[in-house]
Every structure is written in C-alpha cells, then in structure tokens.
C-alpha cells in the first residue's frame, strides 16, 4: 500500500454545494483535474473552472431523471483500482479507465425530506444510490483514494495536500474512510427506520441506529469514563437542538438532566399556565404551576430547597426578568426555556457559569418516537412513554370521590410521576409538588421518603404541619399492599391516584375507605427505570 499518493484527478458530485466553488478553485490551482455531474458541474463551470462531465467519461448521458449517471466501470474502476497491482493497472490500460484520486460527495437530502413531512414517493426519490456506491468504493480503496463526505473536511484535505506536496498521508485517508462509512451507515439507518415506520412494522428484523457528533464531552457520568454527545437529526425541541447562550460546556450529566427536565415541563400547556420543573440526578425535586413563571418557580423551589441547589431548571414559557432574578439567588447548573427576554439574558449574563439554553418551542409529549437502551449484547427498543389520561379516564373506586380541586392535583401529580424513577410516589398540593419519593426498591419506602421530605421542608419554612397535609398522591404503579397507601394517609394525604390492577386492590380500596380518603384508578402505569 502506497504511503503517500498524489491527488491528480477528482470527482466532485454534491447535493449540498456549500464551499464547492472554493474547493474547486483550490484544487484547480493545485493542478487537479476536475470531474463532475449535473448541478455540481454547472456550478463549477459557471465559476469559470474547467470541468469534465462524468457522462464524457462513461460514454453515457445521465438518464432516468438522474438515477443513472455514475454507476459505470469507468467511474468505479477509477475509484477501486489498486495502483500497485499489475493486473489492476493492466485492466485500466486495456479499458481506458483513468484513476480517480479524490471523491467529494454528499448525499441527496433524504433525512431533511422526511423531516419536512414529504409523501412516500418524494422520500423514495430522495434516496441516493450512486453516491453511497461511490463512497463505499472510494473508502474501501483508501490506500490510494481520498473520500470526503463533509464540507468541514475541505480545508483539512487541502491542508494535508499542501503539507505533503500535493499528496495525502495514509492516516488522513483512513480517517476520511471511517467517516465515509459512518455516513453511509447513518444514511441507510435513516432510510430503513423510515420505511419501518411507514410500513408500521413494530419489530423489524434488523434495527439500525445512527448519530452525528455534536460534542466531545470532558467525561461521562464519572471522571474516569470517556463520553460524547450525538444527535439523531430530528428537530424535536430540547437539549439536542437548543442554542446555548452562555456558560461553560454541558457535561454528560447536564445533558441527561436537562433532557429529563424539559420533557417533564412540556407536559404542561404553556397556553394554560406557567410551569417550572427543577431536576436533580434525572429526578424532579420540585414541579409547580403558577399564574406567573416566578410564582411557579418559587413553589417548585419550596418543595425541596436542598436538592434544588445545583439543579436544572426547565420552563414552559419564555424566561422573564423576575424569574431570572429568583433563579440566580442560588447556584443553578442549567436553565432551559422556549425563549428569554433581553432583560432576563442581562441578569443571567452576570452569572458566567450558569448555562442558558433556548429552544424554539416545547417537545410534543404525545408524539410517538423510538426509545432505546443498551444492555449487554444488545438493545432494548420501545415506544417512548406517551401515555396520557384525561379526567374522563379516571375511575373512582372509593366511597368518597375527589373534589374538583383534588382531581386537578391528582392529574398534576400523575403527570409528574410519569417522569420520576420507579418506584415513584409524588405528593402534590395546590398545583405544586410537596414531596417526591423516587427510585426506591419498595413503594412503601418511596412513600416514606416523600413524606419525610414534605415534613423537612415544612420545618425549613417554619410551618406547623407537614406540606403533605391535605395533599394528593400519585403512585406510578399499583400498590401491591395497603402499607404504602397507609403511609401516605398518615402523612396527611386526602386522595390518591394509581393504576390499579393488583390482586390486592380490594384490600387497598378498603384501607383507603377506612382512612377516609378518595382514590381513583387510571388503568395505566408509568414505570421509569
């Protein structure tokens, strides 16, 4: 394998023409012959560059609406031939095949076409065939051929050529080849997953997952773990698509927690009321609705002031100055919101380490997307939990029925419980969490933890009784025994929302009746592991 190979002939065929003219001129100045196709050739020629059409090389015109133009031995032979193999060189001479030393290709915008909601036939027409075939050929022959699939690599290519007197080094070509294969893999992943969705296949034989590097992280969950952040190309509002206005780079844990916070706060319609979620270690430590963001933030903060320190704050409305001032009263890692006023930005500007992320909206919490988790030797794949219950879905199972106000708190608590690690118990009063028990091995323990938090915050606030007094309680799954419900009743809860479905439902219902509290069943659970 040749160590250094000069670039004498290049084929440029791109959908995204960003930087194409500049690259073409730079290559021509370095004595590189240019080949091209269709719109790329026209753009280069209009810029005054000498370009040979691929159709002149193949002896065939572009045909079938451009579906066939580069699938020809004169192209693929030029990309695949081993320059140090006598048989390959002889075949090139015999058939008049000239070597291609550089391939610059980016693919038809299939992902963007799907994202725009195009119909099936339009999406099919935007599946590139010739591009991936050439990319794979050039990448396989990276001992001699450079393959560039990203605009960001144009300058790197020219730099490597200049460093090696018009040639490129083997390591550089290997890196280009790796990126090329990753690009075609991601492209095929997008196509196959789109087709599976279009065909409504719940479990296709093979699943492909792909991502594009957004950020190399300092470390993962812990300092000894390497990590990076990849995006999937979707336009879902959230941490992956947000614009960071200030603060140092997000960490692995910041990204994970910010995602959890924004997905939770999006459960609350900003047209109805302001809402704030404060997250710590992927669990909510305070969630509230209010007439204003500032009011909602204060109520969320008062649920657990200790855990809120160094937390993530998510808002369902644009950040305003009053709320910004309140948030800066304590150390906060990240704030994410669908916009911010100039006054709020100015207040945050004084806190250089506070990260402010702005999005162009809230994620649709009812939009079905695929969620996956790695396990040893494989992946678990499921639909994202978009389960939702309305007031009309609730079944009163106790002698006492909840009041209208209690029903509202029950539904609020249910939305929050969906985003709390199981086992989850959530106490809510007046549209604000007052106690959250998360991730315990028993539901009784979660109820106890939530109750103790409610009592501790009451002590901090100087109140005579626990914040849980008169609260509504949500359990993300059924109570297997009556003990967890009785713990909530002892803490002062007056009503409970839970899925139901336990073999001991009758025992739990009787305990609720004996305690004089109301209870409703949802028929749906929200495990979150």
Query: Annotated active-site positions, please?
Result: 140, 281
Phi first, then psi: what are they for 223, rounded to 5°? -65, -20
Pick from 519, 301, 279, 291: nearest CA to 420: 279
Neighbouring CB atoms inside 10 A of 4's CB total 14
Asked if 146 and 7 touch (Cβ cutoff 8 Å), the reply is yes
Angle between helical axes of 73-80 and 86-95 (0-180°, round to 10): 160
Neighbouring CB atoms inside 10 A of 469's CB total 18
What residues contact 201, with CB distance under 8 A and at least 6 apart?
Answer: none
Structure tokens at 214: 């957004």
Three-state helix/strand/coil letters over 247-274:
CCCCCHHHHHHHHHHHHHHCCCCCCCCE
The Cα 262–Cα 253 span in angstroms is: 14
The Cα 491–Cα 448 span in angstroms is: 9
Asked if 9 and 101 touch (Cβ cutoff 8 Å), the reply is yes
What is the separation of C-alpha 478 from the centre of its chain, rounded to a whole number of angstroms? 31
What residues contact 50, with CB distance under 8 A and at least 6 apart?
Answer: 28, 34
């Amino acid at each position: 394998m040749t160590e250094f190979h000069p670039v004498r002939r290049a084929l440029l065929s791109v959908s995204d023409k960003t930087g194409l003219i500049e690259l073409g001129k730079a290559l021509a100045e370095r004595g590189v012959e240019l080949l091209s196709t269709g719109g790329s050739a026209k753009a280069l020629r209009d810029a005054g560059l000498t370009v040979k059409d691929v159709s002149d090389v193949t002896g065939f015109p572009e045909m079938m609406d451009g579906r066939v133009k580069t699938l020809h031995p004169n192209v693929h032979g030029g990309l695949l031939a081993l320059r140090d193999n006598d048989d390959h060189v002889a075949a090139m001479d015999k058939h008049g095949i000239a070597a291609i030393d550089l391939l610059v290709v980016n693919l038809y915008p299939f992902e963007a076409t799907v994202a725009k909601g195009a119909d099936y036939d339009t999406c099919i027409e935007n599946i590139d065939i010739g591009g991936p075939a050439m990319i794979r050929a050039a990448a396989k022959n990276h001992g001699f051929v450079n393959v560039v699939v990203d605009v960001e690599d144009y300058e790197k290519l020219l730099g490597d050529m200049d460093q090696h007197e018009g040639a490129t080094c083997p390591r550089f070509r290997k890196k280009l080849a790796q990126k090329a294969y990753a690009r075609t893999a991601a492209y095929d992943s997008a196509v196959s997953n789109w087709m599976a969705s279009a065909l409504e296949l719940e479990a296709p034989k093979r699943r492909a997952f792909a991502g594009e590097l957004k950020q190399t992280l300092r470390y993962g969950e812990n300092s000894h773990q390497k990590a990076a952040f990849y995006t999937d190309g979707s336009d879902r509002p959230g941490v992956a698509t947000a614009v960071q206005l200030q603060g140092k780079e997000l960490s692995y844990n910041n990204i994970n927690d910010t995602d959890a916070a924004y997905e939770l706060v999006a459960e609350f319609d900003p047209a109805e009321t302001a809402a704030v979620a404060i997250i710590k270690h992927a669990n909510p430590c305070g969630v509230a609705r209010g007439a204003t963001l500032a009011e909602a933030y204060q109520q969320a903060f008062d649920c657990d002031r200790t855990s809120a320190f160094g937390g993530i704050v998510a808002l369902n409305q644009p950040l305003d100055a009053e709320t910004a001032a309140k948030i800066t009263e304590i150390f906060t890692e990240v704030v994410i919101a669908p916009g911010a006023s100039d006054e709020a930005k100015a207040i945050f500007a004084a806190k250089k380490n506070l990260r402010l992320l702005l999005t162009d909206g809230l994620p649709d919490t009812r939009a079905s997307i695929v969620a996956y988790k790695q396990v040893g030797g494989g992946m678990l794949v499921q639909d994202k939990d978009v389960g939702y219950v309305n007031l009309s879905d609730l079944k009163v199972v106790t002698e006492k029925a909840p009041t209208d106000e209690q029903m509202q708190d029950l539904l609020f608590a249910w939305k929050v419980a969906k985003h709390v690690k199981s086992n989850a118990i959530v106490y809510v009063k007046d549209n604000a969490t007052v106690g959250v028990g998360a991730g315990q091995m028993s539901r009784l323990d979660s109820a106890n933890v939530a109750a103790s938090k409610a009592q501790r915050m009451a002590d901090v606030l100087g109140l005579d009784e626990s914040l849980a007094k008169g609260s509504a309680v949500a359990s993300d799954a059924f109570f297997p025994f009556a003990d967890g419900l009785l713990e909530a009743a002892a803490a002062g809860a007056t009503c409970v929302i839970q899925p139901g479905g336990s073999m001991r439902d009758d025992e739990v219902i009787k305990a609720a009746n004996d305690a004089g509290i109301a209870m409703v069943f949802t028929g749906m659970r929200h495990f979150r592991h």
